[in-house]
């Protein structure tokens, strides 16, 4: 009796997959795992990420790193906020 229900379940699952057009995933469950704790991304996603990288600068007052486009510049120094720009360079 249990075998009959299992077979019916498999048939229903197969019909569902045929109707929706979804394919079962190929490869093992861990095929994208690199062993370093990170998931390996497909090349298209990795190249998109490289295109969006920005130059980082360090705030001369507090040392915070931030994108150059968001930083404020004064006499060759970079600052993370208007308050730190006004406070000036802090000796570290």
Give the C-alpha separation, 27 to 13, whole Å. 20
Report which of residues 48 and 89 the model is more confident about: 89
Note whether residue 20 is domain-resident. Answer: no
Count of domains for the chain:
1
Q: Write the CA distances from 62 to 46, 50, 66, 88, 91, integer angstroms.
A: 32, 28, 11, 10, 10
pLDDT score of 62: 93
Range of the structural domain that residue 57 is part of: 53-92
Note whether residue 4 is domain-resident. Answer: no
Note whether residue 76 is domain-resident. Answer: yes
pLDDT score of 41: 64
Note whether residue 63 is domain-resident. Answer: yes
Report which of residues 74 and 52 the model is more confident about: 74
Report helix, strand or coil for 20.
Answer: helix
Note whether residue 18 is domain-resident. Answer: no
pLDDT of residue 82 exceeding 90: yes
Tens of pLDDT, residue by residue over 4-60, are 999 999 999 989 888 887 655 555 555 555 555 565 666 665 555 556 778 999 999
Note whether residue 70 is domain-resident. Answer: yes
């Amino acid at each position: 009796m249990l075998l009959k229900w299992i077979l019916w379940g498999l048939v229903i699952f197969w019909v569902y997959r045929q109707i929706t057009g979804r394919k079962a995933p190929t490869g093992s469950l861990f095929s994208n795992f690199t062993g370093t704790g990170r998931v390996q991304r497909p090349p298209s996603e990795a190249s998109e990420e490289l295109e969006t990288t920005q130059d980082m600068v360090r705030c001369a007052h507090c040392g915070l790193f931030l994108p150059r486009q968001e930083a404020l510049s004064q006499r060759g120094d970079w600052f993370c906020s208007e308050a730190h720009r006004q406070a000036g360079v802090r000796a570290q």
